[in-house]
Amino acid sequence: MSTENVVIIGAGPAGLAAANQLKLYGIDPLVYESDQPGGLLLNACSVINYPGVPEGISGRELINLFQIPSMLIFGEVTKVYREDHLYQVHSNCGDITARCVVVASGTVPRKIEISGVAEKPIHYDIKSITGFYGKSVAIIGGGDAALDYAMSLSSSCIVNVYARGDFSKVIPHLLRKVLLLPAVTLHPGSLPKSSFSEDIIVVAAGRTPRVDFISANLLSSPPADGSFHMCGDCGNGIYRQTAIAVGNGVEAAMKVARYLKDVGIVK
Ligand SMILES: Cc1cc2nc3c(=O)[nH]c(=O)nc-3n(C[C@H](O)[C@H](O)[C@H](O)COP(=O)(O)OP(=O)(O)OC[C@H]3O[C@@H](n4cnc5c(N)ncnc54)[C@H](O)[C@@H]3O)c2cc1C
């Protein structure tokens, strides 16, 4: 089994930022991505809070500005644990050993029971929906993601957004923009009980950290020596923003570089 200096799990903004920073130290990390580089950000209609782009930019355009790591593996990490000061990383494309691990695995959608959707597929993000032109869409959720999805879809669909609450937690700038869109109707305090007449159902009911592949030991007592880091949305509670994820990735990379220097692996 080969030993890598650094394995990064996830090629969203946090993982890509960590990989880029490590490269500056002459360290080429091995990056695993189970879907597409860019992560959740690929869903974002308009990012207006990323420094340097005050006019706003789509998530896809923003991620296109990030460098793609040279050692990117399209595979899913299924297990990570530590044994004898090394990390065992199991994936659906083989097992390896690593000196350092940066977990940047983001989140998974919270699934909810919905009645009245019959045979209609339920989508938990929009980047993979195809053929929605001219269709009607029900979005279930009352947060920023629900309204960002509404904005994305409004140029080609009729959109109804259903929420238990009153959209008061949505960032005001986004709410103001969505209220101006003729194709979008907000339904505060109402989830249709019996049926959804819309063609497509999108659920944006919150997300939870994607950490099921990390051993219980690592999660409860992460090593403090600098060899293991969790960064970005998977470790940020409710503070899930791209700039924060990028900052976490850079910080993790700096600490990993210092660890590898301290133990004499890199100069
Ligand atoms: C609709 C929407 C709009 C948004 N708008 C904004 C905005 O305007 N401004 C802003 O700052 N933020 C916005 N965000 C939030 C932003 O997208 C996230 O904060 C950011 O993407 C988090 O980056 P990350 O790298 O931590 O996680 P993610 O982007 O979730 O990336 C994690 C990556 O890890 C991969 N992965 C997970 N587990 C494994 C595994 N076991 N093996 C291999 N790969 C794995 C995933 O496939 C994914 O690509 C928005 C999010 C949504 C959904």
Identify the band that residue 114 occupies on the pLDDT scale cut at 50, 70 and 90. Answer: confident
The ranges assigned to domains in the chain are 3-108+207-262, 111-203
Tell me what pLDDT residue 239 has: 94
User: Ligand 1 in contact with 240 (CB < 6 A)?
Assistant: yes
Domains 3-108+207-262 and 111-203 share a fold: yes
pTM comes to 0.96
Identify the band that residue 194 occupies on the pLDDT scale cut at 50, 70 and 90. Answer: low
Does 121 have pLDDT greater than 70? Answer: yes
User: Ligand 1 pocket test: which of 79, 242, 244 has the largest number of ligand atoms within 8 Å of its C-beta?
Assistant: 242
Identify the band that residue 209 occupies on the pLDDT scale cut at 50, 70 and 90. Answer: very high
Q: Give the distance (Å) from ligand 1 centre to CA of residue 105.
A: 8
Tell me what pLDDT residue 119 has: 74
For the record, the structure tokens of 252 come out as: 């993790």
Nearest atom (ligand 1) to Cα of 149: 1
Tell me what pLDDT residue 2 has: 74
- Mean pLDDT over 200-211 rounds to 95
User: Ligand 1 in contact with 149 (CB < 6 A)?
Assistant: yes
Name the fold adopted by 3-108+207-262.
FAD/NAD(P)-binding domain (3.50.50)
User: Ligand 1 in contact with 105 (CB < 6 A)?
Assistant: yes
Tell me what pLDDT residue 212 has: 98
Tell me what pLDDT residue 13 has: 98
User: Ligand 1 in contact with 246 (CB < 6 A)?
Assistant: no
Does 45 have pLDDT greater than 70? Answer: yes
- Mean pLDDT over 197-221 rounds to 95
When the pLDDT of each residue in the chain is averaged and rounded to a whole number, the result is 94
Tell me what pLDDT residue 27 has: 97
Tell me what pLDDT residue 197 has: 87
User: Ligand 1 pocket test: which of 20, 30, 40 has the largest number of ligand atoms within 8 Å of its C-beta?
Assistant: 40
Model confidence pLDDT, tens digit, residues 82-98: 999 999 999 999 999 99
Does 193 have pLDDT greater than 70? Answer: no
Q: Give the distance (Å) from ligand 1 centre to CA of residue 256.
A: 22
Does 116 have pLDDT greater than 70? Answer: no
User: Ligand 1 in contact with 14 (CB < 6 A)?
Assistant: yes
Q: Whose CA is nearest to atom 35 of ligand 1?
A: 10
Name the fold adopted by 111-203.
FAD/NAD(P)-binding domain (3.50.50)
Does 153 have pLDDT greater than 70? Answer: yes
Least confident of 13-27, 62-76, 115-129, 227-241: 115-129
Alpha-carbon Rg for the chain, nearest whole angstrom, is 20
Three-class secondary structure of residue 201 per DSSP:
strand
Model confidence pLDDT, tens digit, residues 174-191: 999 999 999 999 999 987
Does 131 have pLDDT greater than 70? Answer: yes
Tell me what pLDDT residue 118 has: 66
Q: Is 144:171 a contact under the CB 8 Å cutoff?
A: yes
Phi, psi dihedral angles at 242 (to 5 degrees): -60, -45
User: Ligand 1 in contact with 203 (CB < 6 A)?
Assistant: no
User: Ligand 1 in contact with 248 (CB < 6 A)?
Assistant: no
User: Ligand 1 in contact with 10 (CB < 6 A)?
Assistant: yes
Long-range Cβ contacts of 237-242 (<8 Å, 24+ apart): 240/107, 240/207, 241/49, 242/13, 242/41, 242/44, 242/47, 242/49, 242/50, 242/59, 242/62
Kindly state the percentage of the chain with pLDDT values over 90: 87
Q: Give the distance (Å) from ligand 1 centre to CA of residue 224.
A: 25
Kindly state the percentage of the chain with pLDDT values over 70: 97
Does 1 have pLDDT greater than 70? Answer: no
